[in-house]
């Protein structure tokens, strides 16, 4: 393995609990170098899944969080000045293509469409990355894989992949786990017992029922793990839930009050 990507290798097994056939389907897609898009709500485990698969496949993982200010140069690279003049520096996508890694573009729809179009030659039988500024065509390493993700809940005409881009990918849909699986995840990662984890999962389930009724997103599995860690460290359950679960997802006083009622339902009234 080239030392330039060795640091991106995941050495410790990430905790991931499968909720369907996503592992088998992803393995089959990767076998044929099929680019993949992972779709699902924020905090449901998409990134953890990619980390787990990278660990299992023993392929380095280079992750880039996309945003509206990201340019093509942020993906492929640029010329920089140093003491000897100008020198080319590969971007994260080029590193993955050149030396053999999984390139994971998280929340890809946040990037401008004129930026993400640079991935097109990598998503068909060509598997090449043209570097126009260098006059170079980089042919993908056999281990190169491309994975992107986004949250369909925030999908709009302004923030969506072009049909010509979508058709180049296989897709796996993700959602929050069923209650008993989510409870197990919170127990394992948060270091709390089953009773407490189950209460937190119950609060999350009720918040998710409010999606489309004032809330864009309910409480995620990731947020439950954060709250459980606070409680395990001795923070009052009500304070932990306010800090990690309810306050982050709304600024509306009425919605916040409704969410606090869910907390009281499972943890009782706050002690005076």
Query: Could you read off the pLDDT of 68-90 as tens digits, one per residue?
Result: 999 999 999 999 988 878 999 99
- Tokens at 131, concatenated: 């570097």
Q: Find, among 220, 185, 222, 207, the residue nearest to 252 by Cα.
A: 207
- Tokens at 102, concatenated: 């999984």
pLDDT, tens digit, 9 for 90 and up, residues 185-234: 999 999 999 999 999 999 999 999 998 888 888 999 999 999 999 999 99
Q: Find, among 23, 76, 26, 15, the residue nearest to 48 by Cα.
A: 15
Residue 36 has pLDDT above 50, yes or no: yes
Question: φ and ψ at 45, to 5 degrees?
Answer: 115, 10
* pLDDT bracket for residue 154 (50, 70, 90): low
Lowest mean pLDDT among 3-7, 21-25, 32-36: 3-7
DSSP alpha helix (H) spans, 58-171: 72-76, 92-99, 113-116, 163-166
Q: What kind of architecture, by CATH, is found in domain 3-173?
A: 3-Layer(aba) Sandwich (3.40)
Residue 157 has pLDDT above 70, yes or no: no
Report domain extents, the chain. 3-173, 179-267
Find the helix or strand (DSSP H, E) in which 198 lies. Answer: helix 194-208
What's the confidence (pLDDT) of residue 165?
85
Distance between CA atoms of residues 36 and 69, nearest Å? 23
Contacts of 25 (CB under 8 A, 6+ apart): 170, 172
Residue 158 has pLDDT above 80, yes or no: no
Q: Find, among 255, 263, 262, the residue nearest to 214 by Cα.
A: 255
pLDDT (mean) for 140-148? 97
pLDDT (mean) for 19-23? 94
**Percent of the chain, pLDDT > 90?**
82
Residue 10 has pLDDT above 90, yes or no: yes
């Amino acid at each position: 393995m080239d030392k330039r990507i060795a640091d991106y290798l995941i050495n410790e097994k990430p905790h991931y609990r499968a909720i369907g056939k996503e592992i088998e389907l992803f393995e089959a897609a990767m076998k044929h170098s099929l680019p993949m898009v992972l779709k699902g709500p924020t905090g449901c485990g998409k990134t953890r899944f990619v980390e787990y698969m990278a660990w299992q496949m023993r392929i380095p993982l280079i992750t880039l969080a996309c945003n509206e200010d990201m340019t093509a140069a942020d993906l492929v690279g640029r010329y920089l000045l140093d003491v000897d003049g100008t020198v080319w520096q590969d971007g994260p996508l080029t590193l993955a293509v050149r030396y053999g890694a999984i390139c994971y573009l998280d929340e890809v729809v946040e990037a401008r469409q004129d930026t993400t179009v640079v991935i097109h030659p990598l998503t068909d039988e060509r598997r090449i990355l043209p570097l126009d500024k260098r006059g170079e065509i980089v042919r993908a390493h056999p281990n190169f894989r491309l994975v992107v993700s986004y949250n369909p809940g925030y999908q709009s005409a302004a923030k969506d992949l072009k049909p010509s881009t979508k058709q180049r990918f296989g897709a796996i849909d993700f959602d929050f786990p069923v209650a008993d699986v989510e409870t197990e995840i919170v127990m394992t990662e948060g270091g709390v017992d089953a009773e407490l984890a189950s209460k937190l999962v119950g609060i999350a389930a009720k918040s998710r029922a409010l999606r489309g009724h004032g809330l864009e997103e309910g409480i995620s599995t990731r947020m439950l793990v954060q709250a459980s860690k606070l409680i395990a460290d001795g923070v009052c359950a009500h304070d932990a839930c306010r800090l990690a679960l309810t306050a982050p997802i709304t600024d509306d006083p009425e919605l916040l009050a409704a969410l606090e009622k869910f907390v009281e339902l499972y943890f009782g009234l706050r002690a005076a």
